Chains A and B, each alone.
Chain A
């Protein structure tokens, strides 16, 4: 997860950022499943995982949709270019 967080700090491409977020969430998801397993509630762990998967997919879709719009309107996917709003 540390690697993932580091990824958030240095990734410049918007699509890659969405992917990094996806990766991070999958790690959290794995943690949930593992937790369910460790406490003998495998079913719970799995249902939690499914819920997270659904929610996270929605977020990813929105994120990608925004990325597409950004590419269309602003012509770039480089987040360092997206700093009109500052101060």
Chain B
């Protein structure tokens, strides 16, 4: 039996994970650093690119393990690309960032596993299998969020995240049970054919939205996010905001696509939550003084844009809404990832310089423009891109979502788009001061005393910043990834 190439993609990563842990543990040095783990992790993610690129050439490959079928369609390829892309950059970045920390082998093992599991999530074709991958992703992330076990705040964040996320998973499971009860099958395509607007299915749909919604940080289930994203090690913060939330969103979409026939309101609900997320995310970020917390709240806003685009596409069939949303999903991973990694370098400097506080404050960024020009430039670009300013990536994906809204011709949707535009303006109210602080003349104490930033941490920053600029000037650079994903969604939702 010939296996499609994507089995290697997931396989390399999942098999590498325990190997990384074991080898790292065995070869651990006295200062508890584990260089073997680092290099093995890098090798794993880099070699995973080969099957990925091969998988891109194949159209819709399917793999069956007994009763379980996995399919790589446009949506799966998008998620895989995002997870692997950001994951590779994060591994590269972490090689120096996590050098001083204990438990490196666990970190890399979990990180590689998380990437593999997320790619697997994208390939699921039945809702239980989807739940299993989703749960596996959650488990790897619990350990990574609470990585700094010696810090009370990390533990607190981890605990809250675990409890809330587990509650969400449980709700999804009940939804799965309901679907099984009414259709006798778990396969998404089969369920789609059998679903009908009965109360049982409606409740299942609601459970999916809320259950997956916890992971996607839909307001009001978002409360775990600022804590988890700000307390996790920087590379993990980037992954959480950049890919994990998005993976949860894709899981939600897969599950909901099975229930298209159940209600005409799914799209409207997504749009409504989208508007709520945009509003809440911006207001919560507005008065923040901690950088990572501000970036975490900003993720809420961007999930809002994605939900808006998806809602537009699902409720009216306007393809641009879906494509814009997928484009924004990719862009957000890139921009937010860059923002976290760039801010993270300054957090690293803070730890190295030794201060009285642990969290990176905006005031700590003062003067970074002169001392650390690349970090300051890339952080500015990331943050302004998130604010939707051209010629950066965020502008183009938001534009696409807005166009879609106006293409529907529906007055309420158009008003929501105008609202979204205003929310973009509002977000500048907290992004712009951050950029201003970077370019102040008077350096903060950590900037003045801080050491040189390792090249290995700056390289991913430069790569991502160039990508943000390139996509902003030539928006169709990512169409090859976004359009097939949008097509897959359109087909799934009966477009």
| Residues in chain A within 8 A of chain B (CB atoms) | 1, 5, 8, 14, 17-18, 21, 24-25, 27-29, 31-32, 34-36, 38-41, 44-45, 48, 51-52, 55, 58-59, 62-63, 66-67, 69-70, 73-74, 79, 82-85
Contact = CB atoms under 8 A, between A and B. Distances in A.
A82 B159 contact: yes
Interface stretch (B1-9, B138-146, B345-353, B386-394): B138-146
A69 B150 CA distance: 8
A28 B149 CA distance: 31
Contacts of B169: 25, 59
A21 B184 contact: no
Contacts of A74: 152, 155-156
Given A41-B184, A70-B155, A79-B159, A35 B177 contact: yes
B153 interface: yes
B167 A55 contact: no
Given A32-B180, A55-B136, A58-B139, A14 B170 contact: no
Nearest to A82: B156
B167 A24 contact: yes
B177 A66 contact: no
Contact of B167 (A8, A35, A44): A8
Contacts of B174: 1, 27-28, 31
Contacts of A28: 170, 173-174, 177
A6 B495 CA distance: 40
A3 to B, nearest CB: 14
Contact of B163 (A21, A36, A40, A73): A21
A14 B143 contact: no
A49 B305 CA distance: 37
Chain B interface mostly helix, strand, loop or mixed? helix
Interface in B183-237: 183-184, 186, 226-227, 230-231
Given A62-B162, A70-B155, 11 more contacts: A1-B174, A24-B170, A31-B178, A35-B177, A59-B142, A59-B162, A62-B139, A63-B166, A66-B146, A67-B159, A85-B160
A36 to B, nearest CB: 7
Contacts of B155: 66, 69-70, 73-74
Contacts of B138: 59
Interface residues of B, number: 41
B157 interface: yes
A64 B231 CA distance: 20
Contacts of B183: 39
Contact of B166 (A5, A21, A27, A82): A21
A32 B132 contact: no
Given A21-B163, A59-B166, A62-B139, A84 B156 contact: yes
A83 B153 CA distance: 9
B162 A52 contact: no
A66 B159 contact: yes
B138 to A, nearest CB: 8
Given A55-B132, A58-B139, A32 B173 contact: yes
Contacts of B304: none
A21 B167 contact: yes
A18 B132 CA distance: 20
Contacts of A27: 174
Cβ-closest 4 pairs across A and B: A39-B184, A31-B177, A28-B173, A35-B181
Contacts of A52: 173
B335 interface: no
